[in-house]
Structure 1
Amino acid sequence: MDTYEQKAYEEVQVWLRKLQKPSSMPQTLTKNVQTRMNQFVPKKFHTMMGQAVKQMVEGVLSGSQYLPNKKEQPAQTLKEADERMEALISVFQKGAAAEGAGTGAGGLFLGAADFPLLLGFKMRFLFTASQIYGLDIYDFRDRLYMLHIFQAAFSSPAKKQETAKRLENWEEYIQNKPRKLSMAKEMDWTSFQQEYRDHIDLVKLLQLMPGFGAVIGAAANYHLLAQLGYAAKEGYRLKWFYMKEKQEN
Protein backbone atom coordinates (compact mmCIF):
# COMPACT_ATOMS: atom_id res chain seq x y z
CA MET A 1 0.00 0.00 0.00
CA ASP A 2 1.11 3.54 -0.67
CA THR A 3 0.62 6.32 1.89
CA TYR A 4 -2.80 7.29 0.57
CA GLU A 5 -4.09 3.72 0.61
CA GLN A 6 -2.77 3.16 4.12
CA LYS A 7 -4.66 6.20 5.38
CA ALA A 8 -7.79 5.10 3.51
CA TYR A 9 -7.55 1.60 4.98
CA GLU A 10 -7.39 3.08 8.50
CA GLU A 11 -10.48 5.21 7.75
CA VAL A 12 -12.34 2.11 6.58
CA GLN A 13 -11.51 0.37 9.85
CA VAL A 14 -12.82 3.39 11.79
CA TRP A 15 -16.06 3.20 9.78
CA LEU A 16 -16.45 -0.51 10.52
CA ARG A 17 -15.94 0.13 14.24
CA LYS A 18 -18.60 2.87 14.14
CA LEU A 19 -21.05 0.41 12.60
CA GLN A 20 -20.49 -1.97 15.48
CA LYS A 21 -21.28 0.54 18.23
CA PRO A 22 -24.36 -0.26 20.37
CA SER A 23 -27.49 1.88 20.35
CA SER A 24 -27.17 5.27 22.04
CA MET A 25 -29.75 7.09 24.19
CA PRO A 26 -30.66 9.63 21.44
CA GLN A 27 -31.25 6.76 19.00
CA THR A 28 -33.55 5.06 21.49
CA LEU A 29 -35.52 8.27 22.04
CA THR A 30 -35.81 8.84 18.29
CA LYS A 31 -37.17 5.33 17.86
CA ASN A 32 -39.84 6.01 20.49
CA VAL A 33 -40.88 9.23 18.72
CA GLN A 34 -41.06 7.38 15.39
CA THR A 35 -43.29 4.70 16.88
CA ARG A 36 -45.74 7.30 18.21
CA MET A 37 -45.79 9.29 14.95
CA ASN A 38 -46.39 6.17 12.88
CA GLN A 39 -49.76 5.75 14.60
CA PHE A 40 -51.00 8.89 12.83
CA VAL A 41 -49.86 7.89 9.35
CA PRO A 42 -52.42 6.19 7.06
CA LYS A 43 -51.95 2.45 6.66
CA LYS A 44 -51.97 2.92 2.89
CA PHE A 45 -48.81 5.01 3.17
CA HIS A 46 -46.99 2.31 5.16
CA THR A 47 -48.10 -0.32 2.64
CA MET A 48 -46.80 1.77 -0.22
CA MET A 49 -43.44 2.23 1.52
CA GLY A 50 -43.06 -1.50 2.08
CA GLN A 51 -43.95 -2.31 -1.52
CA ALA A 52 -41.50 0.29 -2.82
CA VAL A 53 -38.61 -1.22 -0.84
CA LYS A 54 -39.53 -4.75 -1.92
CA GLN A 55 -39.50 -3.70 -5.57
CA MET A 56 -36.20 -1.90 -5.06
CA VAL A 57 -34.51 -4.98 -3.56
CA GLU A 58 -35.80 -7.21 -6.35
CA GLY A 59 -34.79 -4.62 -8.94
CA VAL A 60 -31.25 -4.41 -7.60
CA LEU A 61 -30.71 -8.16 -7.53
CA SER A 62 -32.32 -9.17 -10.79
CA GLY A 63 -33.40 -6.07 -12.74
CA SER A 64 -31.91 -3.37 -14.90
CA GLN A 65 -33.85 -0.22 -13.97
CA TYR A 66 -31.02 1.18 -11.85
CA LEU A 67 -28.27 0.70 -14.41
CA PRO A 68 -26.62 4.08 -15.12
CA ASN A 69 -27.10 5.65 -18.55
CA LYS A 70 -23.40 6.42 -18.73
CA LYS A 71 -20.79 3.75 -18.10
CA GLU A 72 -18.15 4.92 -15.64
CA GLN A 73 -14.61 3.73 -16.27
CA PRO A 74 -12.92 2.19 -13.22
CA ALA A 75 -10.39 4.47 -11.54
CA GLN A 76 -6.73 3.61 -11.88
CA THR A 77 -5.91 4.50 -8.28
CA LEU A 78 -7.86 4.68 -5.04
CA LYS A 79 -7.12 8.40 -4.80
CA GLU A 80 -8.69 8.96 -8.21
CA ALA A 81 -11.70 6.84 -7.20
CA ASP A 82 -12.23 8.85 -4.01
CA GLU A 83 -12.01 12.18 -5.85
CA ARG A 84 -14.54 11.06 -8.44
CA MET A 85 -16.77 9.71 -5.67
CA GLU A 86 -16.83 13.07 -3.86
CA ALA A 87 -17.88 14.81 -7.07
CA LEU A 88 -20.59 12.20 -7.68
CA ILE A 89 -21.98 12.58 -4.14
CA SER A 90 -22.32 16.32 -4.68
CA VAL A 91 -24.21 15.86 -7.95
CA PHE A 92 -26.66 13.35 -6.47
CA GLN A 93 -27.17 15.41 -3.31
CA LYS A 94 -28.25 18.43 -5.34
CA GLY A 95 -30.58 16.33 -7.48
CA ALA A 96 -32.17 14.64 -4.48
CA ALA A 97 -32.62 17.96 -2.67
CA ALA A 98 -34.39 19.49 -5.68
CA GLU A 99 -36.68 16.48 -5.99
CA GLY A 100 -37.41 16.50 -2.24
CA ALA A 101 -38.30 20.18 -2.29
CA GLY A 102 -40.75 19.67 -5.15
CA THR A 103 -42.58 16.73 -3.64
CA GLY A 104 -42.42 18.13 -0.10
CA ALA A 105 -44.30 21.23 -1.19
CA GLY A 106 -47.17 19.11 -2.42
CA GLY A 107 -48.43 17.77 0.89
CA LEU A 108 -49.20 14.20 1.89
CA PHE A 109 -49.61 12.48 -1.46
CA LEU A 110 -46.69 14.08 -3.30
CA GLY A 111 -44.60 13.70 -0.15
CA ALA A 112 -45.44 10.02 -0.13
CA ALA A 113 -44.47 9.82 -3.79
CA ASP A 114 -41.01 11.06 -2.82
CA PHE A 115 -40.28 7.81 -1.01
CA PRO A 116 -39.87 5.53 -4.07
CA LEU A 117 -38.30 8.38 -6.06
CA LEU A 118 -35.62 8.85 -3.41
CA LEU A 119 -35.03 5.09 -3.30
CA GLY A 120 -34.38 5.16 -7.02
CA PHE A 121 -31.99 8.10 -6.61
CA LYS A 122 -30.04 6.23 -3.97
CA MET A 123 -29.74 3.02 -5.95
CA ARG A 124 -28.68 4.81 -9.14
CA PHE A 125 -26.02 6.51 -7.07
CA LEU A 126 -24.78 3.19 -5.67
CA PHE A 127 -24.69 1.59 -9.11
CA THR A 128 -22.83 4.52 -10.67
CA ALA A 129 -20.34 4.83 -7.84
CA SER A 130 -19.65 1.09 -7.81
CA GLN A 131 -18.24 1.26 -11.34
CA ILE A 132 -15.68 3.86 -10.26
CA TYR A 133 -14.29 1.41 -7.71
CA GLY A 134 -14.25 -1.48 -10.18
CA LEU A 135 -17.33 -3.46 -9.12
CA ASP A 136 -19.21 -5.41 -11.78
CA ILE A 137 -22.81 -4.17 -11.89
CA TYR A 138 -23.84 -7.33 -13.76
CA ASP A 139 -22.46 -9.62 -11.06
CA PHE A 140 -25.12 -10.69 -8.55
CA ARG A 141 -22.52 -10.82 -5.77
CA ASP A 142 -21.54 -7.19 -6.32
CA ARG A 143 -25.20 -6.17 -6.40
CA LEU A 144 -25.68 -7.98 -3.13
CA TYR A 145 -22.73 -6.00 -1.79
CA MET A 146 -24.50 -2.75 -2.75
CA LEU A 147 -27.54 -3.74 -0.70
CA HIS A 148 -25.29 -4.36 2.30
CA ILE A 149 -23.80 -0.89 1.85
CA PHE A 150 -27.37 0.45 1.81
CA GLN A 151 -28.08 -1.36 5.08
CA ALA A 152 -24.88 -0.03 6.60
CA ALA A 153 -26.18 3.48 5.93
CA PHE A 154 -29.85 3.03 6.86
CA SER A 155 -30.58 0.52 9.59
CA SER A 156 -30.72 0.00 13.33
CA PRO A 157 -27.53 -0.31 15.43
CA ALA A 158 -28.12 -4.07 15.76
CA LYS A 159 -28.47 -4.52 11.99
CA LYS A 160 -25.43 -2.31 11.37
CA GLN A 161 -23.39 -4.54 13.67
CA GLU A 162 -24.53 -7.60 11.74
CA THR A 163 -23.81 -5.90 8.41
CA ALA A 164 -20.32 -4.81 9.50
CA LYS A 165 -19.39 -8.36 10.43
CA ARG A 166 -20.60 -9.65 7.08
CA LEU A 167 -18.67 -6.96 5.20
CA GLU A 168 -15.53 -7.81 7.15
CA ASN A 169 -15.87 -11.44 6.00
CA TRP A 170 -17.31 -10.74 2.58
CA GLU A 171 -15.09 -13.03 0.52
CA GLU A 172 -15.99 -15.95 2.74
CA TYR A 173 -19.70 -15.06 2.56
CA ILE A 174 -19.84 -15.04 -1.26
CA GLN A 175 -17.43 -17.94 -1.77
CA ASN A 176 -20.07 -20.33 -3.06
CA LYS A 177 -22.54 -17.83 -4.50
CA PRO A 178 -23.10 -17.69 -8.28
CA ARG A 179 -22.30 -14.71 -10.47
CA LYS A 180 -25.90 -14.66 -11.66
CA LEU A 181 -29.13 -15.21 -9.78
CA SER A 182 -32.56 -14.78 -11.32
CA MET A 183 -34.60 -14.30 -8.14
CA ALA A 184 -34.16 -11.95 -5.20
CA LYS A 185 -34.00 -14.68 -2.59
CA GLU A 186 -30.81 -13.68 -0.81
CA MET A 187 -32.35 -10.76 1.08
CA ASP A 188 -35.12 -10.77 3.66
CA TRP A 189 -36.87 -7.81 2.04
CA THR A 190 -39.48 -7.54 4.82
CA SER A 191 -36.79 -7.02 7.43
CA PHE A 192 -34.84 -4.85 5.01
CA GLN A 193 -37.73 -2.44 4.39
CA GLN A 194 -38.59 -2.23 8.08
CA GLU A 195 -35.01 -1.32 8.97
CA TYR A 196 -34.96 1.36 6.30
CA ARG A 197 -38.35 2.79 7.25
CA ASP A 198 -37.49 2.88 10.93
CA HIS A 199 -34.29 4.74 10.17
CA ILE A 200 -35.76 7.54 8.06
CA ASP A 201 -39.43 7.66 9.13
CA LEU A 202 -39.14 10.67 11.44
CA VAL A 203 -37.51 13.05 9.01
CA LYS A 204 -39.60 11.89 6.05
CA LEU A 205 -42.86 12.05 8.00
CA LEU A 206 -42.08 15.65 8.89
CA GLN A 207 -41.79 16.27 5.15
CA LEU A 208 -45.49 15.44 4.81
CA MET A 209 -46.55 18.24 7.15
CA PRO A 210 -48.25 21.20 5.42
CA GLY A 211 -46.41 24.50 5.37
CA PHE A 212 -42.78 23.48 5.62
CA GLY A 213 -42.60 20.14 3.83
CA ALA A 214 -40.57 21.61 0.97
CA VAL A 215 -37.82 22.88 3.26
CA ILE A 216 -37.65 19.61 5.18
CA GLY A 217 -37.87 17.56 1.99
CA ALA A 218 -34.87 19.28 0.43
CA ALA A 219 -32.77 19.17 3.61
CA ALA A 220 -33.73 15.56 4.38
CA ASN A 221 -32.87 14.26 0.94
CA TYR A 222 -29.59 16.17 0.89
CA HIS A 223 -28.63 14.73 4.28
CA LEU A 224 -29.71 11.18 3.41
CA LEU A 225 -27.62 11.20 0.23
CA ALA A 226 -24.63 12.43 2.25
CA GLN A 227 -25.19 9.59 4.70
CA LEU A 228 -25.34 7.04 1.90
CA GLY A 229 -22.34 8.66 0.22
CA TYR A 230 -20.20 8.18 3.32
CA ALA A 231 -21.17 4.52 3.65
CA ALA A 232 -20.64 3.92 -0.07
CA LYS A 233 -17.22 5.53 -0.09
CA GLU A 234 -15.95 3.50 2.85
CA GLY A 235 -17.72 0.32 1.72
CA TYR A 236 -16.38 0.56 -1.83
CA ARG A 237 -12.92 1.31 -0.49
CA LEU A 238 -13.16 -1.92 1.49
CA LYS A 239 -14.16 -3.78 -1.69
CA TRP A 240 -11.24 -2.15 -3.51
CA PHE A 241 -8.85 -3.63 -0.95
CA TYR A 242 -10.50 -7.06 -1.28
CA MET A 243 -10.10 -6.97 -5.06
CA LYS A 244 -6.51 -5.74 -4.87
CA GLU A 245 -5.59 -8.50 -2.44
CA LYS A 246 -7.18 -11.10 -4.73
CA GLN A 247 -5.23 -9.77 -7.74
CA GLU A 248 -1.95 -9.86 -5.81
CA ASN A 249 -2.54 -13.44 -4.74
Structure 2
Amino acid sequence: MSYNQQAYAELQEWKHRMSRKPNLAGYLSKAAQNRINRIIPEKVHVAITATIKKMVQGVLYGAKYISKPHPPVTDLMARETEIMQRIKTYQHTAAAEGGITGAGGFLMAMADFPILLGIKLKMLFDVGSMYGFDLTDYKERVFLLHIFELAFSSRQHRRQVFEKMQHWEAKKAALPDDSSQFDWRAFQQEYRDYIDLAKLAQLIPGIGAAVGLVVNYRLIKQLGETAMNAYRMRIMEP
Protein backbone atom coordinates (compact mmCIF):
# COMPACT_ATOMS: atom_id res chain seq x y z
CA MET A 1 0.00 0.00 0.00
CA SER A 2 1.01 3.59 -0.46
CA TYR A 3 1.61 5.69 2.66
CA ASN A 4 -1.74 7.46 2.19
CA GLN A 5 -3.58 4.15 1.91
CA GLN A 6 -1.87 2.86 5.04
CA ALA A 7 -2.73 6.05 6.94
CA TYR A 8 -6.35 5.78 5.81
CA ALA A 9 -6.53 2.15 6.96
CA GLU A 10 -5.10 3.16 10.36
CA LEU A 11 -7.68 5.95 10.56
CA GLN A 12 -10.57 3.53 9.94
CA GLU A 13 -9.30 1.14 12.62
CA TRP A 14 -8.91 4.05 15.05
CA LYS A 15 -12.42 5.30 14.33
CA HIS A 16 -13.78 1.84 15.07
CA ARG A 17 -12.00 1.82 18.44
CA MET A 18 -13.25 5.30 19.31
CA SER A 19 -16.88 4.37 18.63
CA ARG A 20 -16.74 0.96 20.33
CA LYS A 21 -19.25 0.44 23.13
CA PRO A 22 -17.90 0.02 26.68
CA ASN A 23 -17.31 -3.53 27.88
CA LEU A 24 -18.30 -4.86 31.30
CA ALA A 25 -14.95 -3.99 32.86
CA GLY A 26 -15.29 -0.43 31.60
CA TYR A 27 -18.75 -0.07 33.11
CA LEU A 28 -17.62 -1.48 36.45
CA SER A 29 -14.55 0.75 36.58
CA LYS A 30 -16.56 3.84 35.73
CA ALA A 31 -19.26 2.93 38.26
CA ALA A 32 -16.66 2.57 41.01
CA GLN A 33 -15.08 5.90 40.12
CA ASN A 34 -18.51 7.58 40.08
CA ARG A 35 -19.16 6.31 43.61
CA ILE A 36 -15.86 7.81 44.75
CA ASN A 37 -16.72 11.12 43.08
CA ARG A 38 -20.06 11.24 44.91
CA ILE A 39 -18.21 10.93 48.23
CA ILE A 40 -15.94 13.87 47.45
CA PRO A 41 -17.50 17.14 48.71
CA GLU A 42 -18.99 19.39 46.05
CA LYS A 43 -16.73 22.27 47.03
CA VAL A 44 -13.72 20.08 46.19
CA HIS A 45 -15.11 19.33 42.73
CA VAL A 46 -15.76 23.04 42.20
CA ALA A 47 -12.21 23.96 43.28
CA ILE A 48 -10.58 21.32 41.07
CA THR A 49 -12.72 22.30 38.09
CA ALA A 50 -11.82 25.98 38.53
CA THR A 51 -8.11 25.15 38.82
CA ILE A 52 -7.99 22.98 35.70
CA LYS A 53 -10.12 25.48 33.78
CA LYS A 54 -7.67 28.27 34.57
CA MET A 55 -4.66 26.09 33.78
CA VAL A 56 -6.03 24.99 30.43
CA GLN A 57 -7.27 28.45 29.49
CA GLY A 58 -3.92 29.91 30.44
CA VAL A 59 -2.18 27.56 28.03
CA LEU A 60 -4.81 27.87 25.31
CA TYR A 61 -4.81 31.63 25.27
CA GLY A 62 -1.11 32.19 25.91
CA ALA A 63 0.44 33.73 22.81
CA LYS A 64 3.66 31.74 23.23
CA TYR A 65 1.76 28.49 22.66
CA ILE A 66 0.14 29.55 19.38
CA SER A 67 2.45 28.98 16.44
CA LYS A 68 1.76 29.87 12.83
CA PRO A 69 0.11 27.10 10.81
CA HIS A 70 2.22 25.24 8.29
CA PRO A 71 1.17 25.26 4.63
CA PRO A 72 -1.68 22.85 3.75
CA VAL A 73 -0.65 19.20 3.58
CA THR A 74 0.29 18.07 0.07
CA ASP A 75 2.71 15.26 0.94
CA LEU A 76 1.20 13.37 3.89
CA MET A 77 4.18 11.09 4.39
CA ALA A 78 6.69 13.94 4.63
CA ARG A 79 4.46 15.98 6.93
CA GLU A 80 3.66 13.10 9.28
CA THR A 81 7.30 12.06 9.44
CA GLU A 82 8.02 15.54 10.80
CA ILE A 83 5.03 15.38 13.15
CA MET A 84 6.07 11.99 14.56
CA GLN A 85 9.56 13.33 15.23
CA ARG A 86 8.04 16.26 17.11
CA ILE A 87 5.85 13.93 19.18
CA LYS A 88 8.88 11.79 20.01
CA THR A 89 10.68 14.89 21.31
CA TYR A 90 7.75 15.63 23.61
CA GLN A 91 7.74 12.01 24.80
CA HIS A 92 11.36 12.31 25.90
CA THR A 93 10.70 15.68 27.55
CA ALA A 94 7.70 14.33 29.49
CA ALA A 95 9.57 11.16 30.48
CA ALA A 96 12.48 13.18 31.88
CA GLU A 97 10.09 15.45 33.76
CA GLY A 98 8.19 12.46 35.19
CA GLY A 99 11.40 10.79 36.29
CA ILE A 100 12.64 13.91 38.08
CA THR A 101 9.36 14.70 39.85
CA GLY A 102 8.79 11.02 40.67
CA ALA A 103 12.16 10.85 42.39
CA GLY A 104 11.49 13.97 44.44
CA GLY A 105 8.86 12.59 46.79
CA PHE A 106 5.17 13.37 47.26
CA LEU A 107 5.24 17.13 46.72
CA MET A 108 7.37 16.89 43.60
CA ALA A 109 5.12 14.13 42.23
CA MET A 110 2.10 16.37 42.78
CA ALA A 111 3.86 19.12 40.80
CA ASP A 112 4.00 16.74 37.85
CA PHE A 113 0.28 17.26 37.19
CA PRO A 114 0.35 20.87 35.94
CA ILE A 115 3.75 20.47 34.24
CA LEU A 116 2.63 17.42 32.27
CA LEU A 117 -0.65 19.11 31.37
CA GLY A 118 1.29 22.02 29.88
CA ILE A 119 3.52 19.68 27.88
CA LYS A 120 0.51 17.86 26.46
CA LEU A 121 -1.30 21.01 25.41
CA LYS A 122 1.80 22.56 23.85
CA MET A 123 2.31 19.39 21.82
CA LEU A 124 -1.28 19.54 20.59
CA PHE A 125 -0.74 23.11 19.43
CA ASP A 126 2.33 22.03 17.50
CA VAL A 127 0.62 19.04 15.90
CA GLY A 128 -2.47 21.02 14.88
CA SER A 129 -0.34 23.78 13.37
CA MET A 130 1.83 21.25 11.52
CA TYR A 131 -1.28 19.78 9.90
CA GLY A 132 -2.03 23.27 8.58
CA PHE A 133 -4.79 24.37 10.97
CA ASP A 134 -4.95 27.89 12.39
CA LEU A 135 -4.99 27.60 16.18
CA THR A 136 -5.62 31.33 16.60
CA ASP A 137 -9.22 30.38 15.72
CA TYR A 138 -11.04 29.72 19.00
CA LYS A 139 -13.14 26.98 17.42
CA GLU A 140 -10.00 25.12 16.38
CA ARG A 141 -8.87 25.24 20.01
CA VAL A 142 -12.18 23.62 21.01
CA PHE A 143 -11.32 20.78 18.61
CA LEU A 144 -7.92 20.59 20.29
CA LEU A 145 -9.61 20.18 23.69
CA HIS A 146 -11.79 17.43 22.26
CA ILE A 147 -8.64 15.59 21.13
CA PHE A 148 -7.41 15.83 24.71
CA GLU A 149 -10.73 14.48 26.02
CA LEU A 150 -10.71 11.67 23.49
CA ALA A 151 -7.27 10.50 24.61
CA PHE A 152 -7.95 10.64 28.35
CA SER A 153 -11.56 9.65 28.99
CA SER A 154 -13.64 6.61 29.83
CA ARG A 155 -15.01 4.71 26.86
CA GLN A 156 -18.53 5.99 27.60
CA HIS A 157 -17.47 9.63 27.47
CA ARG A 158 -15.09 8.98 24.57
CA ARG A 159 -17.93 7.92 22.27
CA GLN A 160 -19.80 11.15 23.00
CA VAL A 161 -16.73 13.27 22.31
CA PHE A 162 -15.94 11.36 19.13
CA GLU A 163 -19.44 12.05 17.83
CA LYS A 164 -18.89 15.78 18.37
CA MET A 165 -15.63 15.68 16.42
CA GLN A 166 -16.93 14.00 13.28
CA HIS A 167 -17.75 16.35 10.38
CA TRP A 168 -16.19 19.17 12.37
CA GLU A 169 -16.26 21.75 9.59
CA ALA A 170 -20.05 21.72 9.67
CA LYS A 171 -20.40 21.44 13.44
CA LYS A 172 -18.00 24.21 14.41
CA ALA A 173 -20.22 26.80 12.70
CA ALA A 174 -22.79 26.24 15.46
CA LEU A 175 -20.31 26.70 18.31
CA PRO A 176 -20.62 29.73 20.62
CA ASP A 177 -18.08 32.49 20.16
CA ASP A 178 -16.38 31.94 23.53
CA SER A 179 -15.48 29.14 25.94
CA SER A 180 -18.16 29.85 28.57
CA GLN A 181 -20.34 26.93 27.42
CA PHE A 182 -17.55 24.35 27.38
CA ASP A 183 -18.19 21.55 29.89
CA TRP A 184 -15.13 22.08 32.08
CA ARG A 185 -16.54 19.87 34.87
CA ALA A 186 -16.74 16.81 32.60
CA PHE A 187 -13.35 17.66 31.10
CA GLN A 188 -11.52 17.77 34.44
CA GLN A 189 -13.35 14.83 35.99
CA GLU A 190 -12.76 12.48 33.07
CA TYR A 191 -9.10 13.53 32.86
CA ARG A 192 -8.53 13.19 36.58
CA ASP A 193 -10.25 9.80 36.76
CA TYR A 194 -8.20 8.50 33.83
CA ILE A 195 -4.88 9.82 35.10
CA ASP A 196 -5.38 8.88 38.78
CA LEU A 197 -4.88 5.14 38.24
CA ALA A 198 -1.90 5.61 35.92
CA LYS A 199 -0.12 8.11 38.13
CA LEU A 200 -0.89 6.78 41.61
CA ALA A 201 2.25 4.60 41.75
CA GLN A 202 4.38 7.68 41.05
CA LEU A 203 3.78 8.71 44.67
CA ILE A 204 5.34 5.49 46.03
CA PRO A 205 8.89 6.05 47.36
CA GLY A 206 11.58 4.07 45.56
CA ILE A 207 9.68 3.42 42.34
CA GLY A 208 8.19 6.87 41.69
CA ALA A 209 10.95 7.92 39.30
CA ALA A 210 10.64 4.82 37.12
CA VAL A 211 6.85 5.02 37.09
CA GLY A 212 6.87 8.72 36.25
CA LEU A 213 9.26 8.19 33.37
CA VAL A 214 7.37 5.28 31.78
CA VAL A 215 3.84 6.58 32.36
CA ASN A 216 4.56 10.07 31.03
CA TYR A 217 6.23 8.62 27.93
CA ARG A 218 3.22 6.42 27.20
CA LEU A 219 0.65 9.15 27.90
CA ILE A 220 2.31 11.50 25.42
CA LYS A 221 2.51 8.72 22.83
CA GLN A 222 -1.19 8.01 23.30
CA LEU A 223 -2.09 11.68 22.94
CA GLY A 224 0.09 12.02 19.84
CA GLU A 225 -1.55 9.05 18.12
CA THR A 226 -5.00 10.42 18.98
CA ALA A 227 -4.11 13.84 17.59
CA MET A 228 -2.71 12.42 14.36
CA ASN A 229 -5.82 10.39 13.64
CA ALA A 230 -8.17 13.21 14.63
CA TYR A 231 -6.48 15.53 12.14
CA ARG A 232 -6.29 12.79 9.52
CA MET A 233 -10.07 12.57 9.85
CA ARG A 234 -10.28 16.29 9.06
CA ILE A 235 -7.93 16.02 6.05
CA MET A 236 -8.97 12.68 4.54
CA GLU A 237 -12.70 12.83 5.27
CA PRO A 238 -13.69 16.51 5.05
User: Fold match, TM over 0.5?
Assistant: yes
Distance 1:8 1:96 in 2: 26
Amino acid at match of 2:184: W
Note if contact 2:69-2:133 (Cα within 8 Å) is conserved in structure 1.
no
Partner residue in 1 for 2:96: 98
Write out aligned runs for 1:76-115 (5 A). 76-115=74-113
> Offset of 1:72 from its aligned partner?
6.2
SS at match of 2:209: helix
Partner residue in 1 for 2:8: 9
Distance 1:140 1:101 in 2: 34
Partner residue in 2 for 1:213: 208
User: 1:54-85: CA deviations, max 9, x gaps?
Assistant: 123323554435335xx563343221221112
Distance 1:205 1:186 in 2: 31
SS at match of 1:185: helix
Distance 2:45 2:106 in 1: 13
Question: Which runs of no fewer than 5 residues in structure 1 stay unpaired?
Answer: none
Distance 2:218 2:187 in 1: 21
Query: Cα 1:160–1:109, aligned 2, differ >3 Å: closer, same or farther?
Result: same
> Offset of 1:145 from its aligned partner?
0.8
Distance 1:169 1:236 in 2: 11
SS at match of 1:134: coil
Query: Cα 1:194–1:241, aligned 2, differ >3 Å: closer, same or farther?
Result: same
Moved more, 55-64 or 118-127: 55-64
Aligned length: 235
User: 1:153-178: CA deviations, max 9, x gaps?
Assistant: 01111111111111223122112447
Partner residue in 2 for 1:223: 218
- TM-score, normalised on structure 1? 0.82
> Offset of 1:124 from its aligned partner?
0.3
Distance 1:170 1:4 in 2: 24
2:196 matched to 1:198? no
Partner residue in 2 for 1:153: 151
Amino acid at match of 2:194: H
Question: Which runs of no fewer than 5 residues in structure 2 stay unpaired?
Answer: none
Distance 1:89 1:10 in 2: 21
Distance 1:46 1:100 in 2: 25
User: 1:174-233: CA deviations, max 9, x gaps?
Assistant: 12447xx4x422411011000001111112121112221111111110010011011011
Partner residue in 2 for 1:124: 122
Give percent identity, aligned residues only.
Answer: 40
Amino acid at match of 1:241: M
Distance 1:213 1:200 in 2: 15
Query: Cα 1:32–1:191, aligned 2, differ >3 Å: closer, same or farther?
Result: closer
Distance 1:143 1:131 in 2: 11
- TM-score, normalised on structure 2? 0.85
Distance 1:211 1:31 in 2: 30
Note if contact 1:61-1:144 (Cα within 8 Å) is conserved in structure 2.
no
> Offset of 1:127 from its aligned partner?
0.2
Distance 2:191 2:58 in 1: 16
User: 1:96-120: CA deviations, max 9, x gaps?
Assistant: 0000011111121111110010000
For the aligned residues, what is the CA RMSD? 3.0
Distance 2:62 2:88 in 1: 26
